[in-house]
């Protein structure tokens, strides 16, 4: 590794290519101050370039200069007892809006987790409407029920995803995944911990638009769900810990959310209890830890990991405390056989993929990601 004038040079002697990484474009900065911690972020499909986010009992959007209410009430205050009300803008009442999934450019599906139901928002009118589940203040045990969307009951919803008229719902404390078929109007349970012992405390789900599979983050790692057969298997080894390299050999401790970079089919994933932001390259099935600059000091760990992460264009956004932070994705130039191709929003070959230096156990490192490192003062 060579550092010259704000550039890092890496050479991988097994793959015969080099990478130039511009560190000056990788400093985390504040994008927006909020009055509570946003629970989920996403690229806004209705207003391109904006960040869509859930916060307390509201859904909002921002361009970085101001927070614009779409529906609900973003300020934390005791809600009216048993309140549930559909309406327009602030007239709609939610109780812990934990997650959402954009159905298309004009409609958003939201998890009203405190009321244990799924609701929708029409972006053209900012009006809310019922989608599935009995909306009432939930209790924590013995209330779940499959069946028609009008009478089905959910426990606390932690994450959800939408794909081709199906809503996939994660109930973490129940270690369960359910689906809502918007065509048939039926809610069903497709996976529980009783069916797969390693399926423990799922936190987040992402449906890959091209692969016809879903990725699920659980307490111990990353799982792949076949949406046709409902079969699931763990992609990494089962033990908790911290290990980069091949996905099959990687270790995790509480991965909590996904952000997809379509141009390189790569995930940004928050590894909550390891305090890391890691990348999963789905083409190479490899895992790296992402390091970035913080006041000219390179950091690979965070004391308080983000609650959520999203990618908009070539910038990553993180929910951290009462703020949304932004970090420009590195621009890498990869040269092979004397040719170079600019790559934006790719982190998969970052310096932190030095597997032999990043292990928390005594297992042999995977050889493919060893790096020849040269240091100059």
Supply the Cα-derived Rg of the chain in whole angstroms.
21
pLDDT value for 104: 96
Class of residue 220 by CB neighbours under 10 A (exposed 0-12, middle 13-18, buried 19+)? buried
Maximal C-alpha separation, the chain: 68
CB atoms within 10 A of CB 271: 24
Q: Which helix (H) or strand (E) holds 73?
A: strand 67-73
Residue 248 has pLDDT above 60, yes or no: yes
Residue 258 predicted with pLDDT over 50:
yes
DSSP 243: B
pLDDT at 138 over 60: yes
Q: How many helices (H) and strands (E) does the chain have?
A: 0, 33
Instruction: Tell me the pLDDT band of 81, cut-offs 50, 70 and 90.
Output: low
CA separation (Å) from 13 to 88, 118, 190, 371, 372? 59, 51, 46, 7, 6
Q: Quick one: pLDDT band at residue 158, thresholds 50, 70, 90?
A: very high
pLDDT at 69: 96
For residue 17, what pLDDT is reported? 29
- By the 8 A CB rule, do 116 and 157 touch? yes
Distance CA 351, CA 355 (A): 10
Tens of pLDDT, residue by residue over 85-126, are 899 999 999 988 999 999 999 999 999 998 999 999 999 999
Percent of the chain with pLDDT over 70: 73
More confident residue, 85 or 143: 85
80-94, 233-247, 334-348: least confident range? 334-348
pLDDT score recorded for residue 346: 38
**Better-scored residue on pLDDT, 160 or 360:** 160
Q: What is the mean pLDDT of the chain?
A: 77
Over residues 162-186, the pLDDT tens digits come to 999 999 999 887 888 999 999 999 9
- 274 sits in the region (left: phi over 0; alpha: psi -120 to 50; else beta) called alpha
b/e code 281-309 from CB counts within 10 Å (16+ = b):
bbebebbbbbbbbeeeeeebebeebbbbb
Q: What is the pLDDT of residues 46-71, one digit of tens each?
A: 999 999 999 989 999 999 998 899 99
pLDDT digits (tens, 9 = 90+) for 21-39: 333 446 788 999 998 889 9
- 360: DSSP letter: S
> pLDDT confidence of 140, banded at 50, 70, 90?
low
Tens of pLDDT, residues 262-310:
888 899 999 999 999 999 999 999 999 987 666 656 678 888 889 999 9
Let me know: does 59 contact 108? Beta carbons within 8 Å: yes
pLDDT of residue 84: 87
């Amino acid at each position: 590794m060579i550092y010259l004038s704000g550039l890092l040079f890496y050479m991988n002697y097994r793959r015969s290519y080099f990478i130039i990484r511009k560190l000056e474009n990788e400093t985390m900065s504040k994008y927006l101050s909020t009055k509570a911690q946003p629970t989920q972020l996403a690229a806004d499909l209705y207003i391109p370039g904006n960040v869509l986010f859930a916060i307390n009992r509201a859904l909002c959007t921002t361009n970085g200069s101001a927070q614009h209410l779409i529906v609900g009430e973003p300020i934390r205050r005791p809600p009216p007892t048993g309140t549930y009300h559909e309406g327009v803008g602030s007239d709609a009442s939610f109780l812990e809006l934990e997650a959402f999934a954009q159905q298309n450019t004009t409609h958003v599906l939201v998890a009203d987790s405190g009321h244990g139901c799924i609701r929708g928002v029409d972006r053209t009118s900012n009006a809310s409407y019922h989608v599935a589940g009995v909306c009432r203040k939930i209790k924590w045990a013995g209330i779940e029920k499959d069946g028609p969307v009008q009478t089905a009951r959910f426990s606390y919803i932690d994450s959800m995803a939408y794909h081709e008229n199906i809503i996939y719902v994660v109930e973490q404390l129940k270690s369960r995944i359910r689906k809502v078929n918007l065509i048939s109007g039926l809610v069903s349970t497709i996976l529980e911990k009783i069916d797969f012992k390693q399926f423990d405390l799922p936190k987040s789900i992402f449906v890959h638009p091209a692969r016809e599979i879903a990725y699920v983050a659980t307490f111990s790692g990353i799982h792949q769900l076949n949406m046709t057969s409902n079969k699931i298997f763990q992609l990494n080894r089962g033990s908790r810990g911290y290990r980069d390299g091949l996905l099959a050999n990687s270790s995790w401790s509480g991965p909590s959310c996904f952000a997809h970079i379509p141009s390189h089919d790569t995930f940004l994933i928050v590894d909550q209890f390891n305090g890391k932001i890691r990348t999963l390259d789905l083409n190479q099935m490899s895992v790296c830890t992402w390091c970035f600059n913080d006041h000219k000091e390179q950091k690979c760990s965070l004391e308080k990991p983000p609650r959520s992460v999203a990618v908009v264009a070539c910038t990553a956004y993180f929910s951290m405390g009462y703020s949304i932070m932004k970090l420009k994705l590195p621009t890498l130039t990869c040269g092979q056989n004397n040719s170079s191709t600019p790559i934006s929003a790719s982190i998969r070959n970052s310096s932190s993929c030095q597997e032999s230096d990043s292990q928390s156990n005594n297992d042999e490192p995977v050889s493919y990601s060893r790096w020849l490192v040269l240091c100059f003062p």
